């Protein structure tokens, strides 16, 4: 084994150009480097690099003079986009003249330092130096490199990819210990950095482990980057502004784009001024610009649905729109004021867990969602309604009693806001938000004691929505069997449906979730068409499947048939879906059973329905469900699946791990 690896090293050396060690080599600093080092020979290369690079050139190279892929023999080992360094033309070499740049640099050959490949590594971490395990001489457990550099200050970055046990690393450079006993963790790329000043024309580096007793603790080294500290001049800043301008910020997340634009602006403003505050100020501007440019983060673009995977918005933040609804809407473009057609997704904000407000997102393609913000906030305290500007202007004109209602229904500490659904009222040009408004009551501490339907309104699609009220709804007529007579008019899991004639309905679980109800809304869509006391059964509302215990309703109309998808009632745990069909909303609903195919666990593919809608462009019907994670509700996932229909109009849903609209 050992013999074989030594042969590899000899082969590497044979490829490299002839080399000689200069007087200032690794072996000339007895206080730092081992005395067993080979004695340096004379060199015919200049002892100091006098070359000067212009600011633009340095900038393009990211100020990198050397970027060594330790122990590599392959010239293609440089990851795309990395600068090889202005002094370096090959990925690694034994100490000597660089074949192209003529700078003198490289590793000190040592029979106990071996090249090794790493199948787990990537880019600069595929190859590395390790110490031969048969080496017993503690003086021979170091990896030495020397680099010819112009006089100046440098940042040295060392990379250690460690597929072995944890070990510690020491690094000496320019006669001083720079890194002392730092832990190199297992299975990860550890990067260490330090600054050093070089005055003798050569940067000498020694990587070792002073505490190593066994070979498993000896050092490793994957890459070395040596970057020159820039000279902070106006020219440098001007070169940076030129090189880093012209970015199409639309392609990047707004946070990173804003930081970049602000530092670019500051640099430009500085350069436009006559006065020069000096290098410290330039350094600050330059560093800001360079850092924010490097931190520009591309927006992730989806081109498919991946049910159950984390789904992020265009800013890279996981979408928070649980128990939600997606619909196409004509909304005003915030920039131009013109009406545009957008997909709108509203849902529960579970960023902080169980309790939160309502979020909205928009999309052009259903894959990529732009965050529109929290459209209805919950209320931190009764006081905040009169103190916080947001609430003060929203609830201007509310009486004290009304404010009490708002504080109770939207209480951030106690209220439960679930399954929000949005509907646009053409007549009033008003957006109406309905939701399951729950929480404790005067007589019960239960989170689901109120069992009400809540309503909030706004003149704009993305709010802020103003809470109007929360209500118990219709009750079981006296000639029918009420499944929960002790608490009447309950409304929990809910949805909305607007029929072709503009009449809107609320569909919800009532009678302690034992019976579904469908109730007609008034023309404003803000309350029932008829108050419960006067409501007529069959005209104003109907009860569905008393005692069947269905919730999570999603109603839609297709080819003249009305469909109602539902789940059972098992809290956050998924259960078997069941759907019904009817010829009209208030008609006879007939059960068609579970639409899922291949759902062996009978858990609706571990999801619970929340909305079903059609993409008119492709004709695709989409099932939208929630995969709740009760221990970590904010990480709950979205299960969107394509629906197919049989000749008889029966619904079929199969699981696909990735799919597109066709």
* 571 interacts with ligand GAL by CB under 6 A: yes
Q: Least distance from C-beta 513 to ligand GAL, angstroms?
A: 7
3-state secondary structure of 117: strand
Query: Would you say 85 or 625 has its CB closer to ligand GAL?
Result: 625
Of 94, 230, 323, 357, the residue at the interface with ligand GAL (CB under 6 A) is 323
Q: How far apart are CA 521 and CA 631, in angstroms?
A: 36
Q: Least distance from C-beta 492 to ligand GAL, angstroms?
A: 7
Q: Least distance from C-beta 358 to ligand GAL, angstroms?
A: 13
* 60 interacts with ligand GAL by CB under 6 A: no
Which positions from 326 to 365 touch ligand GAL by CB under 6 A, shown as an x/- string? ----------------------------------------
Q: Could you write out the three-class secondary structure of 591-608?
A: EEECCEECCCCCCCCCCE
Q: Which stretch binds ligand GAL (CB under 6 A): 202-210, 263-271, 566-574, 616-624?
A: 566-574
**What does R_g of the chain's alpha carbons equal in angstroms?**
34
Distances (CA, A) of 532 to 171, 220, 483, 537, 551: 80, 77, 17, 10, 21
Q: How far apart are CA 640 and CA 610, in angstroms?
A: 10
Q: What is the DSSP letter of 215?
A: G
Of 493, 511, 599, 606, the residue at the interface with ligand GAL (CB under 6 A) is 493
Query: Would you say 339 or 446 has its CB closer to ligand GAL?
Result: 446
Q: Which stretch binds ligand GAL (CB under 6 A): 83-91, 273-281, 564-572, 638-646?
A: 564-572
Cα 527 versus chain centre, distance: 39
* 629 interacts with ligand GAL by CB under 6 A: no
Q: What is the DSSP letter of 126?
A: S
Query: Got the DSSP string for 43-60?
Result: -SS-SS------HHHHHH
Site for ligand GAL in 199-258 (CB under 6 A): none
Site for ligand GAL in 71-130 (CB under 6 A): none
Q: How far apart are CA 33 and CA 114, in angstroms?
A: 19
Q: Which stretch binds ligand GAL (CB under 6 A): 54-62, 77-85, 249-257, 567-575?
A: 567-575
Q: What is the DSSP letter of 230?
A: P
Q: Least distance from C-beta 321 to ligand GAL, angstroms?
A: 13
Q: Least distance from C-beta 524 to ligand GAL, angstroms?
A: 26
Strand ranges inside 485-567, DSSP E: 494-498, 504-510, 515-520, 541-544, 551-558, 561-567
Query: Would you say 60 or 569 has its CB closer to ligand GAL?
Result: 569
- Could you tell me how many residues of this chain bind ligand GAL (CB under 6 A)? 10
Query: Would you say 85 or 323 has its CB closer to ligand GAL?
Result: 323
Site for ligand GAL in 404-443 (CB under 6 A): 418-419
Q: Which residues lie across from 104 on neighbouring strands?
A: 97
Q: Which residue in 231, 236, 233, 156 sits closest to 197, CA to CA?
A: 156
- Please provide residue 430's backbone torsions phi and psi, each rounded to the nearest 5 degrees: -125, 145
What's the sign of the alpha-carbon dihedral 52, 55, 61, 64? Answer: positive
* 551 interacts with ligand GAL by CB under 6 A: yes
Q: What is the DSSP letter of 40?
A: P
Q: Which residues lie across from 430 on neighbouring strands?
A: 425
Q: Least distance from C-beta 516 to ligand GAL, angstroms?
A: 12
Q: How far apart are CA 545 and CA 514, in angstroms?
A: 8
Q: How far apart are CA 527 and CA 455, in angstroms?
A: 8
Query: Would you say 285 or 550 has its CB closer to ligand GAL?
Result: 550
Query: Would you say 142 or 515 has its CB closer to ligand GAL?
Result: 515
Contacts of residue 219, Cβ cutoff 8 Å, sequence gap at least 6: 129, 131, 141, 142, 143, 160, 167, 169, 170, 207, 208, 209, 212
Q: Which stretch binds ligand GAL (CB under 6 A): 114-122, 275-283, 479-487, 569-577?
A: 569-577
Of 321, 326, 457, 552, the residue at the interface with ligand GAL (CB under 6 A) is 552
Strand ranges inside 21-98, DSSP E: 64-69, 96-97
Of 392, 572, 590, 618, the residue at the interface with ligand GAL (CB under 6 A) is 572
Q: Least distance from C-beta 323 to ligand GAL, angstroms?
A: 5
Query: Would you say 141 or 513 has its CB closer to ligand GAL?
Result: 513
Other CB atoms within 10 A of residue 653 CB: 28
Q: Could you write out the three-class secondary structure of 456-504?
A: EEECCCCCCCEEEEEECCCCCCCCCCCCCCCCCCCCCCEEEEECCCCCE
Q: Which residues lie across from 173 on neighbouring strands?
A: 176, 205
Query: Would you say 403 or 449 has its CB closer to ligand GAL?
Result: 449
Q: Least distance from C-beta 493 to ligand GAL, angstroms?
A: 5
* 606 interacts with ligand GAL by CB under 6 A: no
Query: Would you say 495 or 608 has its CB closer to ligand GAL?
Result: 608
Q: Least distance from C-beta 360 to ligand GAL, angstroms?
A: 18
Query: Would you say 244 or 437 has its CB closer to ligand GAL?
Result: 437
Q: How far apart are CA 168 and CA 211, in angstroms?
A: 8
Under the rule (CB under 6 A), what is the footprint of ligand GAL? 323, 418-419, 493, 551-552, 569, 571-572, 608
């Amino acid at each position: 084994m050992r013999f074989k690896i030594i042969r590899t090293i000899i082969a590497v050396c044979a490829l490299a150009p002839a080399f000689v060690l200069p007087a200032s080599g690794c072996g000339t600093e007895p206080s730092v480097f081992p005395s067993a080092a080979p004695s340096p020979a004379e060199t015919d290369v200049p002892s100091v690099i006098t070359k000067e690079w212009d600011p633009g050139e340095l900038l393009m190279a990211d100020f990198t003079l050397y970027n060594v892929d330790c122990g590599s023999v392959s010239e293609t080992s440089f990851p795309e986009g990395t600068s090889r360094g202005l002094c370096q033309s090959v990925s690694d070499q034994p100490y000597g003249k660089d074949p192209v740049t003529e700078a003198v640099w490289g590793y000190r050959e040592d029979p106990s330092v071996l090249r090794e490949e790493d199948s787990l590594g990537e880019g600069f971490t595929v190859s590395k130096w390790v110490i031969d395990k048969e080496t017993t001489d503690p003086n021979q457990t170091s990896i030495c490199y020397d680099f010819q550099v112009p006089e100046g200050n440098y940042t040295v970055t060392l990379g250690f990819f460690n597929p072995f046990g944890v070990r510690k690393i020491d690094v000496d450079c320019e006669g001083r210990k720079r890194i002392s006993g730092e832990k190199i963790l297992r299975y990860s790329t550890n990067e260490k950095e330090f600054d050093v000043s070089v005055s003798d024309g050569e940067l000498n580096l020694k990587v070792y482990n002073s505490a190593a007793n066994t070979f498993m603790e000896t050092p490793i080294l994957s890459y070395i980057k040596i970057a020159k500290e820039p000279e902070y001049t106006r020219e440098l800043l001007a070169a940076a502004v030129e090189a880093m301008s012209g970015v199409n910020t639309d392609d990047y997340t707004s946070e990173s784009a804003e930081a970049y634009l602000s530092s670019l602006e500051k640099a430009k403003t500085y350069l436009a001024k006559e006065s020069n505050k000096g290098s410290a100020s330039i350094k600050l501007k330059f560093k800001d610009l360079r850092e924010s440019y490097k931190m520009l983060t591309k927006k992730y673009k989806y081109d498919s649905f991946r049910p159950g995977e984390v789904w992020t918005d265009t800013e890279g933040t996981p979408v928070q729109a649980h128990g939600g609804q997606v619909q196409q809407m004509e909304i005003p473009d915030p920039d131009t004021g013109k009406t545009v057609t957008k997909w709108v997704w509203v849902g529960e904000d579970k960023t902080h867990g169980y309790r939160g407000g309502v979020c909205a997102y928009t999309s052009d393609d259903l894959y990529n969602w732009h965050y529109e913000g929290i459209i209805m906030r919950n209320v931190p305290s009764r006081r905040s309604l009169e103190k916080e500007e947001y609430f003060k202007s929203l609830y201007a004109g509310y009486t004290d009693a009304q404010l009490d209602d708002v504080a109770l229904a939207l209480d951030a500490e106690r209220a439960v806001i679930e399954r929000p659904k949005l509907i646009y009222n053409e007549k009033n040009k008003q957006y109406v938000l309905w939701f399951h408004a729950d929480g404790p009551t005067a007589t019960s501490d239960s989170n689901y004691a109120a069992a009400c339907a809540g309503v909030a309104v706004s003149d704009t699609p993305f709010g802020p929505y103003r809470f109007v009220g929360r209500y118990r709804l219709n009750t079981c007529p006296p000639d029918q069997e009420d499944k929960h007579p002790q608490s009447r008019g309950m409304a929990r899991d809910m949805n909305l449906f607007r029929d072709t004639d503009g009449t809107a309905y609320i569909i919800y679980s009532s009678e302690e979730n034992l019976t579904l109800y469908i109730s007609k809304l008034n023309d404003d869509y803000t309350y029932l068409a008829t108050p419960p006391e006067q409501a007529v059964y069959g005209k104003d509302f109907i009860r569905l499947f008393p005692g069947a215990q269905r919730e999570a309703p999603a109603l839609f109309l297709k080819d003249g048939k009305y469909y109602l998808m539902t789940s059972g009632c098992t809290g956050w745990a998924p259960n078997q879906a069941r759907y019904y069909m009817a010829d009209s909303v208030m008609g006879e609903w007939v059960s068609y059973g579970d639409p899922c195919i291949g759902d062996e666990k009978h858990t609706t593919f571990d999801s619970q329905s929340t909305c079903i809608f059609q993409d008119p462009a492709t004709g695709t019907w989409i099932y939208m469900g929630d995969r709740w994670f009760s221990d970590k509700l904010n990480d709950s996932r979205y299960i969107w699946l394509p629906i197919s229909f049989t000749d008889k109009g029966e619904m079929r849903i199969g699981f696909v791990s990735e799919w597109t609209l066709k």
